[in-house]
Chains A and B, each alone.
Chain A
C-alpha cells in the first residue's frame, strides 16, 4: 500500500506544488522568526560581553520606583531596573581592595555628541543613529589598532565602524559637536571591538571628558549609577565566574554599610541587562508568528482542498482497492503518505527559505548601517520544530479527505451532487458569543484607559479584574476573541455577504454576477475559510493604519492648533548650545525666542516629574494655554507652578495646593576648597622641607652636588605647586534645594499633560543653570518682518553647530509623520505577504470548486455561455471572497484601532483619524487580488472541451 501511496504522490506532484509552497511559506516564517530572535539575542549577548565587560559592578542596593532619570545615559549599562545612585568617592575605597586592577565610573555617554565627517556633514550612526563617546583607554574590550588614545577634548580615537561612516583617518582634523557647541578635534587613533555595535558610532575620548559629559547630562556630580571594576587576577584578561564571585565578595566587605552599595559579578550584570534587552526585542517574534499561523492555516486549507480533489477523482480507484481486499486503514495510509511527503518537501524548502530570509534581512540591515555579527543559522532544534510543524499541518489537512477515501464502500457509485452542508448556525452562535466576549473586553479596556485612576466600571468585581489585566491584556484578549469569533461566524455571513456584495456585480453582469453570487453560498465554510486568510492580515494592517494615522493627526493637530511660533529649533543630540540660543535671539527680525529647558532630577512631593523652565512668553507667543483652571500666563509670571491635567489627576493635586519641590544644586564648597588648598600647600611645604632637610644632611656630609640636586628638587616641588591650576582643587558640594510652591494653573495642552512648568527664576533657585539643558527653541518673528527670510538668518546661526534643525509648522509635522510612516513600511511588507498567501488560498479554493463543477461549466458552455462570461463568473466569485475577507478585516481592524485610540487618548492620541483613502485602496486592491486569483482556475475551467464536460460517462 505504501508503494501505491508513493506512486500516487509522484503522479500528483504538480497538484501538490501550491500546497508545498504554502507549507514552505508557513514553515519559513516559523523558522525565520526563531532565527531572527536568535540573531538578535546573539547580538545582544555579544554586545553585552564586549560593552559590559567588567568583572565586578558596584551599584545601589535599593530599587528605585521611578527610574526615569535617563539612566541609560550614564554608565555603560542599560538595565531597566534602576537602583539608588552611589557615591563616586567609593572608587578610592574599592581601588584599595586586593585583586582590583582598575576602577572606573562613567565610561560612556551616548546621545550627546555628534561627529562631523570628512564631507563636512554630521555623521549619522547608521540605523540606530546614536553616537556614543567612550573612554576607550579604560575599556578592556577596545583594542587600539592604530595611533594612540586621545589626551584631551581636542583629540579623538574612532571606532572602526565610525571610520567607515565618517571617512576620517588618523591625522585628520574635524569637528566634534559637544553639548556646548562644536570644537575642532584631531583624530589620533583607531580602535575596534569584538562585536559589531549594531550601528552605534563610537568615539574614543579621554576619561575625564566622558565623566564631565555624564555629569552634565545627569545634572549631578559625585553620584553615579554603577562603579565598574576590572580584576587583576588574570593579568588583564577577564576573570572567570569564581574569580568574579570572590572579588565581588571582597569588595562587598570593603564597602561601608552607609554607602548603600553592593557589588555584583559582571556575569550577573550582563545577564540582567541582556535579559531586559531581549525582552524589549521579544515582541518581534510573536508578530512574525502571527503571519506564520496565517500561512499555515491557509496551507492546511489548501492541502485539504487539494486532497479533496484528488480523493474525489480517485474514488473509483479506492473502491477497487477495497474490493480486492484492502482495508480502510490501508487506503487511509495511501493518502496520508502523500501528505507526509508533501509536508516534508514543504518543510525542508521552508527551513531553507526562512534561513535565507533572515540572512537577507541581516545583509539589508548591514547595508543600511546596522551591521549585526550575531549568527543567523537555525539551530537543529529550530529545524526540527519547522519540520514537525510543516508535516503536522500537511497531515491534519489531509486527514479528512483521507478518511473519506477510507470510508469508500467497495462499490462506489459516484454521485455528482454534493452532500448538503451541515448547518452553519451552531458555529455562528458560538462565534457570536466569542465575539461579544472580545467586544466586552475591549469596552473594559476603553473604560480603563478613559477613567484614568478612577474606577473603570461601577461594578467592584469587574474593577478588580480590570486592575489585574490593565489595558494591555484587555486589549489583547479582546482582539484575539474578536478575530476568532468573526472567523467562526464567517460561514453564516457568507449568504448575506454574497447578496450584499454581489448586488453590484449582478447588476453589471446579470449572468456571471448572479451565478458567482450563488456559487459562493454553496460551500459556506470553504468560502469563509478562504476569506479568513485575508481577514486576519487586513485586520492587523488596518488596525495599525488607524493607530498610525491617529498618531499623525494628533501630532499635526497639536502643532496646528496649539503652536503659534513661526519656527521651531531643536537639536539632534538633545541639547541646544547656549551660544546658539544667544545667536538666534540676536537676530533683528525675531520678536521672541522661547527657550524650553528641562530640569533634571527635580522631585515634586518626593516623586520625580518632567519639569521645564519657561519664559513668560511661552503662553503669549508660543501656544495658547488651554487652562482648565486658573490663569496659566499669570501663574507663570507670578512664579507659581503650571501643571498638566494628567499629572494633576495622577498625583491627586488640586488647584492652589502647595507642592514641595526638592532639587540639587552644585555649589563650590568654600570651606572644603580652602581646606583642600591649605592641605595641598601644607603637603608641598612638608615635601619641600623634607627635601631641604635631606639637602642639609647631604651638605653636612660634604656632598655638594647631591645637596644641590636635592635643593633643586625641593625648589621644583614648590614651583610645580605654584603651576597647579587652583580650579583642580575646588571641591564642589551638592546642596539640596527645597521650595514650596502653589499650583497656580492647570493646563490641558496635550504636550504638557504630564509636565510641570515654572519660570526661569524659580527654576534656577532649584537647580544649576548649567544642569538644565535647552531642548527646544520657539522662535516668533517680529510682526511685519519677512518670515521666510528669517529662516535663512536662523540657519546662518545654527549652521556652525551641525546638529540643529530649523522647522516651520509643516516641516515639523512631516518629521513626526515620516517617523510613523517608516514603521508602517514594515507592516505593508507583512500585508504583502499575507496577500500572497491569501491569493494562494483563493486560487486553490476556486480550483477545487471548478473541478467539482466541470459538468456544470460544460452545460453553461453548451447552452451558449461565452468564455468571457465563465471567466467573469469566476473572477467575480474570487473578488467576492477577497472583498468579504477584506471588509471583515477592515471593520475589525478599524474597530481595534478605535479602541486603541480611545484607550490611549490621554497619552497623546487625542484625535481619531481613520485613513479612509488607505482603507479604500485596500478594498480596491482586494478586488484586483480576486480577479488575479481567478485567472489560473478559469484557465483550467476553459481548457476542458465542452464535449468532455457534458458527455455522459
Chain B
C-alpha cells in the first residue's frame, strides 16, 4: 500500500504538467468517538491528464468518498486536494460552486438530467450556468458521437436509460472540464448500452484527451480504463495500468484469497453487477 503512495508522491515531486488532480494525505472520518468511521485513511494519489482512471472497491471502501472529495462535493477531514493547481480542500462554498462549474464534469448513476429541460438544453446547461459561449461545432461533434441527433428536442422522460446516460456524458464533456467524475455511470444500464456509454467515454479520452475518473463496481467497465485503482478500508490496495478484464477479475479473486472475509464482499457485488449487466 505504502509502496504505491510513495511512488506517486515521487511523481508529483517531479512537478510535471501531466498531473491534473492529486490527493495528498487525505483523511475523511464520519461520526465521533466509538461510532467514528474512517472513510479515507491518509490516502495520496495523482491523476494523470488524458487518462481514464477507474476506482474500484467494495461498499464502504471509500471510493465514493474519494471521488466526492476530489470533486469538491465533500470536504476532507485533513489533507489536501488539488485540481489544476487549485487547492480544492480550502475553498469556500462560493469558490467550490465556481470550481465545479469551470473545472469539473459529472456523470451520476441515475437522475442525471433536469427533467424539465430537453436533451439539448441539458447538454448546454453547464455552459449557460457558467455564461460561457456555446461552441456549436463542438456541440455538433459531441452530439454526433453520442448519436443523439434526432432526440435533441426530447425531454428526459421520453428517452431510454442509455440515451439519458449518453446525454449526461455529452453534457459532462460539453464544457471540456479538467476532469469528469463519473459515479457508477453504467450502474443502471444493460450490458449493450453500458458498452455504448463506456465506448464514448474511452473515445473522449483517446480523441480529445479528456481526463475521466470513474467509480465502478463493474470489472467490465473498469477494463475500459487506462488505470484501475482498487480501494479497501480507505486506502489504495492496488494500482493497475492498462489491465485486461481478466487481470481485474484476478485481482479480486486474489483479494479473496488474501484477506478472506472482508474482501469477499468485494467480489460479490462486482460479479453480481456484471451478472446484472449481462
Complexed CA–CA distance, A859 and B105 (Å): 11
Beyond the given pairs A510-B128, A867-B93, 16 more chain A to chain B contacts, judged by CB atoms under 8 angstroms and listed by A's residue number, are A511-B125, A515-B117, A518-B117, A522-B116, A859-B111, A859-B114, A860-B114, A862-B100, A863-B100, A863-B101, A864-B104, A866-B94, A866-B129, A952-B108, A952-B109, A952-B110
Which of A515, A518, A856, A864 is the one whose CB lies under 8 Å from B101? Answer: A864
A-B contact pairs, 23 of them (CB 8 A): A514-B121, A515-B116, A518-B116, A518-B117, A519-B116, A522-B116, A855-B111, A856-B115, A862-B71, A862-B100, A862-B106, A863-B101, A863-B105, A866-B94, A866-B101, A869-B129, A947-B68, A947-B73, A950-B73, A950-B106, A950-B108, A952-B184, A952-B187
Q: Are B73 and A864 in contact (CB under 8 A)?
A: no
Question: In the bound complex, do residue A863 and residue B73 qualify as a contact, i.e. CB atoms below 8 Å apart?
Answer: no
> Are A417 and B126 in contact, with the CB atoms below 8 A?
no
Does A951 lie within 8 Å of B157, measured CB to CB? no
Contact with B along A832-876 (1 / 0, CB 8 A): 000000000000000000000001100111111111010000000
8 closest A-B pairs (Cβ-Cβ)?
A864-B101, A518-B116, A864-B100, A947-B73, A866-B97, A855-B111, A952-B109, A511-B128
Are B97 and A861 in contact, CB atoms less than 8 angstroms apart?
A: yes
Q: Is the CB of B157 within 8 A of A417?
A: yes
Hey, which chain B residues are within 8 Å of A864, CB to CB?
A: 97-98, 100-102, 104, 126, 129-130
A residues 918-953 near B (Cβ < 8 Å) are 946-947, 950-952
- Is A416 at the interface (CB under 8 A from chain B)? yes
Q: Is B258 an interface residue (CB 8 A)?
A: no
Q: Which residues of B contact A417 (CB under 8 A)?
A: 115, 157
CB distance from B227 to the nearest CB of A (A): 24
Q: Please provide the chain B residues from 8 to 32 with a CB less than 8 Å away from any CB of chain A in the complex.
A: none
* B183 part of interface (Cβ distance < 8 Å): yes
Query: Which residues B85-105 have CB closer than 8 A to chain A?
Result: 93-94, 97-98, 100-102, 104-105
Chain A interface residue number, banded:
20 to 34
Chain B residues, Cβ within 8 Å of A521: 116
Q: Which of B73, B102, B113, B115 contacts A862 (CB 8 A)?
A: B73
- B111 nearest in chain A by CB position: A855
Contact with A along B117-143 (1 / 0, CB 8 A): 100010001101110000000000000
Given known contacts A863-B101, A863-B129, A947-B68, A856 and B111 CB-to-CB distance under 8 angstroms: yes
Chain A contact residues: helix, strand, loop or mixed: helix
- Complexed CA–CA distance, A867 and B115 (Å): 20
A859 surroundings in chain B (CB, below 8 A): 106, 108, 111-114
* Contact in complex: A946, B73 (CB < 8 Å): yes
Q: Is the CB of A951 within 8 A of B64?
A: yes
Q: Which residue on chain A has the smallest CB distance to residue B74?
A: A947
Q: Taking the nearest CB of chain A, how far is it from the CB of B208, in angstroms?
A: 19
**Cα A522 to Cα B109 with chains together (Å):** 24
* Residues of B that sit less than 8 Å from A by CB: 64, 68, 71, 73-74, 93-94, 97-98, 100-102, 104-106, 108-117, 121, 125-126, 128-130, 157, 171, 183-184, 187
Distance to closest chain B CB from A859 (angstroms)? 6
Knowing A947-B73, A952-B183, say if A863 contacts B126 (CB, 8 Å).
Answer: yes
Query: Chain B contacts of A861 at CB under 8 A?
Result: 97
Residue of A nearest to B187 (CB): A952
The docked-state distance in angstroms from the alpha carbon of A947 to that of B125 is: 20
Give, as a whole number of angstroms, the nearest-CB distance from B221 to chain A: 16
Tell me the minimal C-beta distance from A870 to chain B in angstroms: 10
Given A518-B117, A859-B112, A865:B129 Cβ within 8 A: yes
Q: Hey, which chain B residues are within 8 Å of A416, CB to CB?
A: 111
- When distances are taken between beta carbons in the complex, the residues of chain B under 8 Å from A869 are 129
| Across-interface contacts of A856 in B (CB, < 8 A) | 111, 114-115
Q: A862 contacts which chain B residues (CB < 8 A)? A: 71, 73, 100, 106, 108
Closest chain-B Cβ to A495's Cβ sits at a distance in Å of 12
Task: Tell me, rounded to whole Å, the shortest Cβ–Cβ distance linking B55 to chain A.
Answer: 15
Complex: A417 Cα to B114 Cα, angstroms: 11
The residues of B that contact A860 with a CB separation of less than 8 Å are 114
Task: A417 to B171: give the CA distance in the assembly, Å.
Answer: 21
Return the chain A residue nearest B116 by Cβ: A518
How far is it, in angstroms, between the C-alpha of A420 and the C-alpha of B94 when the chains are bound? 36
CA distance A861 to B72 in the complex (A): 11
* Interfacial chain A residues near B104, Cβ < 8 Å: 864
- B188 to A, closest residue via Cβ: A952
Chain A residues positioned under 8 Å from B113 (CB to CB): 859
CB of B238, distance to nearest CB on chain A (Å) = 25
- Residues of A near B68 (CB, < 8 A) are 947, 951
Q: B97 near A867 (CB under 8 angstroms)?
A: yes
CB of B35, distance to nearest CB on chain A (Å)? 19
CA gap between A865 and B184 in the complex, in Å: 22
| Chain A hits for B94, CB < 8 A | 866
Shortest beta-carbon distance from B46 to chain A in Å:
24
* Complex alpha-carbon distance, A867 and B96, angstroms: 11
Quote the shortest CB–CB distance from A414 to chain B (angstroms).
12
Q: Which of A463-512 contact B (CB under 8 A)?
A: 510-511
Least CB distance, B124 to chain A, in whole angstroms:
10
Residues in B with CB closer than 8 Å to A855 are: 111
Q: Do residues B108 and A515 form an inter-chain contact, with CB atoms below 8 A?
A: no
Q: How far is the CB of A860 from chain B (nearest CB, A)?
A: 7
Which chain A residues lie closer than 8 Å to B129 at the CB level?
A: 511, 863-866, 869
